[in-house]
């Protein structure tokens, strides 16, 4: 899981502590963790600098409303996972999903879902319009982003019922689909559509086959490091809930999904 702004002003920290009686000076500043690759449109990065994104816009608004200062750490997936696993750069905030459990023992969820994601398969196969069961995928060659795991699909590959091709970029996946070297490219709808809109080699044959009957929809959440106090965590949850209720989050999602 951006615009790098370091604010070490003691006066600001004192103001923040006054505004949140439960916060100490350390808690008043949150380190926002940003994945530098393959996270668009959740997090957008240009030359290792944050440039926005759905989650980034939400986090920045949350910090402003809750009167936290944000610092930014941009890094590879491996670096961000190391920061989380070994308790570095605390207190931090990042995005996650409850179906991604690998590092969940190291953080606390803000129990307010941001938005729901569904999955599709980008394909040029005219015979695949929807995937109503895993049986449709048997015998197929599918592209997935490297290091991504799909519990609904991986067991089929392990049993030899389909094959998976690891790819390192969306463009590579799109090229494989265009030249029909794979039957499809499996990913979140929102990410496929966003990146496909920026792909120069789009072909008329490309279409999205709905995968929600194979990969169930799930929600994206924010998470914070466990060193943040319960009072501070609950205050962030209340602010986030207000952002849901006043449609701020819905408007952000809509802004990035108008393709």
The SS3 assignment for 239 reads: helix
In which band, very low, low, confident or very high, does the pLDDT at 26 lie, cut at 50, 70 and 90? Answer: low
> Among the residues of 6-126, which ranges form H helices?
10-19, 54-65, 77-85
Across all residues in the chain, what is the average pLDDT?
A: 89
pLDDT over 70 at 1, yes or no: no
> Among the residues of 161-208, which ranges form H helices?
170-178, 189-196
- Strand 92-97, strand 29-35: pairing: parallel
Listed ranges 96-105, 122-131, 216-225; the one with the highest mean pLDDT = 216-225
The confidence score (pLDDT) of residue 13 equals 27
Q: What is the pLDDT of residues 160-206, one digit of tens each?
A: 999 999 999 999 999 999 999 999 999 999 999 999 988 988 788 99
pLDDT over 90 at 10, yes or no: no
Mean pLDDT lowest among 19-28, 55-64, 239-248: 19-28
Whether residue 211 contacts residue 121, with contact meaning beta carbons closer than 8 Å, is answered with yes
- Strand 207-210, strand 141-145: pairing: unpaired
Integer distance in angstroms from the first to the last C-alpha of the chain? 22
Q: Return the higher-pLDDT residue of 101 and 107.
A: 107
In which band, very low, low, confident or very high, does the pLDDT at 25 lie, cut at 50, 70 and 90? Answer: low
The confidence score (pLDDT) of residue 129 equals 87
The confidence score (pLDDT) of residue 8 equals 29
Q: Return the higher-pLDDT residue of 10 and 46.
A: 46
Whether residue 180 contacts residue 141, with contact meaning beta carbons closer than 8 Å, is answered with no
CA proximity to 56, closest of 32, 31, 76: 32
Q: What is the DSSP string of 208-224?
A: EEE-TTTS--EEEEEEE
The SS3 assignment for 140 reads: coil
176: CB partners within 8 A, 6+ apart: 143, 165, 167, 182, 185
The confidence score (pLDDT) of residue 4 equals 35
CA proximity to 23, closest of 246, 243, 239: 239
What is the C-alpha R_g of the chain? 20
- Percent of the chain exceeding pLDDT 70 equals 89
The confidence score (pLDDT) of residue 18 equals 35
């Amino acid at each position: 899981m951006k615009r790098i702004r370091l604010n070490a002003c003691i006066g600001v920290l004192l103001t923040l502590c006054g505004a949140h009686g439960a916060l100490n000076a350390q808690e008043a500043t949150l380190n926002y963790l940003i994945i530098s690759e393959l996270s668009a449109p959740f997090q957008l990065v240009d030359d290792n600098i944050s440039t926005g994104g759905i989650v980034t816009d939400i986090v920045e608004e949350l910090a402003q409303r809750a009167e936290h200062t944000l610092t930014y750490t941009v890094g590879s997936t491996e670096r961000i996972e190391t920061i989380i696993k070994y308790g570095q750069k605390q207190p931090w905030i990042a995005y996650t999903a409850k179906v991604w459990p690998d590092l969940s023992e190291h953080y606390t969820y803000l129990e307010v879902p941001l938005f729901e994601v569904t999955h599709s398969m980008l394909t040029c196969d005219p015979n695949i319009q929807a995937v109503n069961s895993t049986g449709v995928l048997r015998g197929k060659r599918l592209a997935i982003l490297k290091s991504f795991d799909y519990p609904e699909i991986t067991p089929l590959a392990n049993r030899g019922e389909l094959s998976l091709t690891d790819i390192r970029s969306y463009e590579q996946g799109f090229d494989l689909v265009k030249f029909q070297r794979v039957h499809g490219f499996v990913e979140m709808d929102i990410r496929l559509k966003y990146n496909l809109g920026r792909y120069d080699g789009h072909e008329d044959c490309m279409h999205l086959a709905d995968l929600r009957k194979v990969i169930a929809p799930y929600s994206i959440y924010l998470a914070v490091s466990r060193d943040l106090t319960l009072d501070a965590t609950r205050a962030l949850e209340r602010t986030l809930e207000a952002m849901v209720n006043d449609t701020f989050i819905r408007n952000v999602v809509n802004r990035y999904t108008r393709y």
